[in-house]
């Protein structure tokens, strides 16, 4: 899995996945799960690592990234 295969979110775009893998590649973080691969900044790795195996949503705003846990929501 490489950063070239991953989708880079544009501002105000949201991506959801069941987080199963985090890989560093060429200065970026590739978060993947369920056939979805997102290209994210490396600084998100410690926060995302806490949610391995859970369904999460990541929103890129115009200044940063926001996360929310989708497991358990109706």
Phi and psi torsions of 61, nearest 5°: -95, -170
User: Residue 74 pLDDT more than 60?
Assistant: no
pLDDT, one tens digit per residue, over 5-42 is 899 999 999 999 999 999 999 999 999 999 999 999 99
Its CATH class, for the domain covering 3-69, is mainly beta
Give residue 33's pLDDT.
94
Give the DSSP H/E element, type plus range, for residue 48: helix 45-49
59 CB burial (10 A radius; 0-12, 13-18, 19+): middle
pLDDT band at 73 (very low <50, low <70, confident <90, very high): low
Tokens 């069941």 correspond to: 18
Each domain of the chain, given as residue ranges in start order, spans 3-69
């Amino acid at each position: 899995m490489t950063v070239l295969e991953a989708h880079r979110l544009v501002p105000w775009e949201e991506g959801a996945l069941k987080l199963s893998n985090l890989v560093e590649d060429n200065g970026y973080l590739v978060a993947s799960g369920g056939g979805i691969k997102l290209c994210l900044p490396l600084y998100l790795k410690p926060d995302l690592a806490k949610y391995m195996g859970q369904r999460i949503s990541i929103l890129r705003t115009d200044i940063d990234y926001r996360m929310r846990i989708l497991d358990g929501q109706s």
